[in-house]
Amino acid sequence: MLRFLLRKISYGILVLLGVVALVFFLFNVLPGDPARLTLGQRADVASLENVRKELHLDKPVAVQFLLYLNDLSPISVHSGEEAERVLHFVPLLHLSGDRLLVLKTPYLRRSYQGKKDVWEMLTEALPGTLVLAVAAILFATVAGIGLGILSAVKKDTWMDTGAVFASVVGISAPSFFMGIVLAYLFGFVLSDYTGLHMTGSLFDYDAFSGRTLTLRNLVLPAVTLGIRPLAIIVQLTRGAMLDVLHQDYIRTAYAKGLPKWAVIFRHALRNALNPVVTAITGWFAELLAGAFFVEYIFGWKGIGKMTVDALEKFDFPVLMGAVLFTAGIFVVINLLADLLYSVIDPRIKL
């Protein structure tokens, strides 16, 4: 089991290294001068040169990449002055000159625009994305399982046909397209009746009342983000329920005189949920890491909107940090899923 875990962790680290390399060299071909983005358009030449030296922009791209990996690594080499200025570290070994081998948290550098630490920006944006992903997966789970059960129980009726058709449409329609449609329809055209707005975040700010929780702003982005997993859950639940409903123990339950709802929910559904639960966990990871365009369309303050804003401004450290953070979520979720499967099915350990 330990060897299995170490192998999976090694694969995850290799994936993260590949993502860092790909994104680093891809973003280095983007237009824009990071030094000028940091100081503004009216900066003088001497100041620009100092900033380029501080950001290592005066070095070849390969050297910049190695320096970025050094910042990311939990065990790395830094000068004493540099470490004290930007890092929370524990010195391990004193090297030549003022160079130190240190143990530290990964350093994602600072935003070119806001001068804030990228890790701090990510932790501030994460709650918004987390709330949105949880709301979306709850909506998809409740509605998807309900429609799947209805479709299986009412097989070959208009309810079954309607649920299957709606699930196919949900799978086929891109999230950004559905977001635009829902925002325009329910947040603009029917806003007087729904009370919803086209854009908004979890908290609104008012000059008099200050920061207020606004849950209604969560409705449209959560529904938009939950449409695709809802469609998958409907089809998985329907297929699993149709298989279970033809089992002998279901006929025996009916023969004992149990009410129909008890047979469906107490006996059939419990045995049909295994593939559904697997899909829910996988989709939650994807929703947590893939809400970029939905957050941007609805103005929802989260990691996705922060990433798109950084891309518009060519804010390289924020882009790198957000992409690496997103990749890390996938790696961790996949690792936990592999461990869970090995616990459920002992054959995987072999």
What gap in Å lies between CA 167 and CA 153, rounded to an integer?
A: 17
- Return the bridge partners of 203, or none: 213
Reading the block at residue 82, the tokens are 């540099």
For residue range 299-313, what is the model confidence (pLDDT) as tens digits?
A: 888 888 888 888 887
Q: Which residues contact 151 (CB under 8 A, 6 or more apart)?
A: 159, 160, 163, 164, 234, 237, 238
Residue 96 has pLDDT above 80, yes or no: no
What gap in Å lies between CA 148 and CA 144, rounded to an integer?
A: 6
> Coil, strand or helix: which one is 13?
helix
C-alpha dihedral over 130, 132, 137, 139, to 10 degrees? 150
116-143 burial, b for 16+ CB within 10 Å, e for fewer?
Answer: ebbbebbeebbebbebbbebbbebbbeb
Residue 138 pLDDT level (bands cut at 50, 70, 90): very high
Name the nearest CA neighbour of 245 among 260, 229, 231, 235.
Answer: 260
CA 265 from centre of chain: 32
For residue range 171-195, what is the model confidence (pLDDT) as tens digits?
A: 888 888 888 888 889 988 888 888 8
What pLDDT score does 29 carry? Answer: 67
Q: Which helix (H) or strand (E) holds 104?
A: strand 99-104
For residue range 267-307, what is the model confidence (pLDDT) as tens digits?
A: 777 777 777 877 787 787 778 766 778 888 888 888 888 88
- Return the bridge partners of 211, or none: 205
For residue range 193-240, what is the model confidence (pLDDT) as tens digits?
A: 888 888 888 877 776 767 787 888 889 999 999 998 898 888 888 888
Name the nearest CA neighbour of 333 among 294, 290, 288, 295.
Answer: 288
Q: Note whether 102 and 78 are within 8 A (CB).
A: yes
What pLDDT score does 289 carry? Answer: 65
What gap in Å lies between CA 78 and CA 311, rounded to an integer?
A: 29
Higher pLDDT, 35 or 11: 11
Amino acid at 4: F
What gap in Å lies between CA 179 and CA 294, rounded to an integer?
A: 6
